[in-house]
Amino acid sequence: MAEILLSLTIIGVVAAITLPSLTGNINERTWNTQRKALYARMSQAIALMPALNGYGTLTEDENKSVTADTAAETFVTEGLSKVLKINNICDSDHLADCGMPAKITALNGSIPYSSFPKTLVQFNGSFNMSFTSGYWSQFSYSQTDTKAAAFETVNGESIAVFYNPRCQQKTEGAGYYVGPKMCANFVYDLNGAKGPNTVGKDIGFITALYPSDSVVVAPMPLNRSPGRAPQKNASAMCYNFDSESRMPNNEELMSIFYNKPLVGEGQYYDTWSNDLYNDIYTAYSMHLLTGKMNVRERNHDDVVLCIRR
């Protein structure tokens, strides 16, 4: 009897140690499968929309400050709901009614919001920022601060929408700020208000860029960078750092800029893109503080950021 009790005790201890890890691995695989399925459905839906800009109304005062808008909500009700199966739509004052969590844990472990943001600038202050420094001289940028909306899909996902009804087409070349290129930024929760409400698990983001010939991306950055390197070595660095990761392209870098609070505010450096410019010697690099897209020689050292899709 004593030997049986001892064996049961050992089995119990082993189960207590291994069960949380096993459950966590199962959840990770489930979330990854759901994330990819949601991205596929959103990409197909966006592709069916004739254009992504122009939805809703904006009322501005004499200082160009928005006093009222229906942009994001109209984008969902009159645009997205025509091409995507949606159960419920909520305005900016009732985002929780569509399952959006009050607090989110960012990829780096920080808590970016005390409550879920109701407007674009509340979501990411980089859409309305200015500063002066020796490196950038004087820099300022502002975006129309539209209200958010949210909806629930028939598959049970909760999705908040931050929308720019004046989004712009793709710019060829470099030296431009990427803020105006975002048409719609979606923050999703795969299981509604249930936990863990953590980016990289049940929380993620999808971005639709350019009003026509739109591009939809859903990068999931790793929670730390492998370091700095020339662009020509960066792809190998990502693979060696995490065999399932790769370098982001221009649009994926732009999405990370739009969603900086969800990633963590530590990425303030020129960061390599996987996209070359117009020859084999230069490539795109974006500054994640300002959202400025530049072109640099590939042998220059910049930050390497790796993502999973």
Instruction: Give 19's pLDDT tier (boundaries 50, 70, 90).
Output: very low
Q: Residue 249 — very low, low, confident or very high, per pLDDT cuts 50/70/90? A: very high
Predicted confidence (pLDDT) at residue 132 exceeds the cutoff of 90: no
Among 3-12, 70-79, 101-110, 129-138, the minimum mean pLDDT is found in 129-138
Domains in the chain, CATH or no CATH each: 27-217 (no CATH), 227-308 (3.10.100.10)
Closest CA to 107 of 220, 212, 239, 183: 220
Give the separation between CA 67 and CA 307, rounded to whole angstroms.
38
Helix %, strand %, coil % of the chain (to 5): 30, 30, 40
Q: 11 or 187: whose pLDDT is higher?
A: 187
213 vs 264, more confident: 213
Q: Is the pLDDT of residue 137 over 70?
A: no
Q: Do the beta carbons of residue 126 and residue 137 sit within 8 Å?
A: no
Question: What pLDDT is attached to residue 61?
Answer: 64
**Is pLDDT above 60 for 252?**
yes
What is the residue-wise DSSP string for 26-73?
HHHHHHHHHHHHHHHHHHHHHHHSS-SS--S-EEE-TTS-EEEE-HHH
For the segment 159-174, the average pLDDT, to the nearest whole number, is: 92
Q: Which residues of 202-220 are buried (b: 16+ CB within 10 A; e: fewer)?
A: bbbbbbbbbbeebbbbbbb
88-98 pLDDT, tens digit per residue, is: 999 999 999 99
Asked if pLDDT for residue 179 goes beyond 60, the answer is yes
Q: How many CB atoms lie within 10 A of CB 130?
A: 9
Identify the residue whose tokens are 């795109």: 284
Residue 120 has pLDDT above 90, yes or no: yes
Per mean pLDDT, which range of 1-5, 27-31, 125-129 is the poorest? 1-5
Distance CA(210)–CA(306), nearest Å, equals 24
- pTM (two decimals): 0.88
* pLDDT tens string 41-60: 999 999 999 999 999 887 76
